[in-house]
A = this chain, B = another copy of it.
Amino acid sequence: MSKQLPIAKCCSPLARDPLTEVQATELAKRFKAMADPVRLRLLSLIASHTGGEACVCDLTDAFDLTGPTISHHLKVLRESGLITGERRGTWVYYRVHPEALAHLSAVLAPGDAVVA
């Protein structure tokens, strides 16, 4: 997990205060991880799955892709800090990192929005 991006604790909506270079660089990495339709669908399938958790066995049927390709996309999402993975028995179970998504949602909110 050492390669995983830390979750930013901050950031006003970008419509309120200009982003610093450091903030923009961190955010751009996360948006890059989401700049792919397969990864967005994986993120959505995990986040909307019963209990907010899904294993690869729940995900592969939705795609006409090989297991290694799905695993690669999951790795990109994990390394960007958008999802976490936990091995239990045969499978790795994935969850969306709720703070990561909420943070991105807040950054893109209108400038007069309240950020927790």
Interface residues of A (CB under 8 A from B): 14-19, 21, 24-25, 27-29, 31-32, 34-41, 43-45, 47-48, 52, 62, 96, 98, 101-102, 104-106, 108-111, 113
Contacts and interface: CB of A to CB of B under 8 A. Distances in A.
B40 A36 contact: no
A40 B28 contact: yes
B110 A101 contact: yes
- How many copies altogether? 2
Contacts of A16: 48
Ranked nearest first, the 10 interchain pairs of A and B with the lowest CB-CB distance are: A15-B47, A32-B35, A14-B44, A105-B108, A24-B37, A24-B40, A19-B44, A31-B35, A31-B34, A28-B37
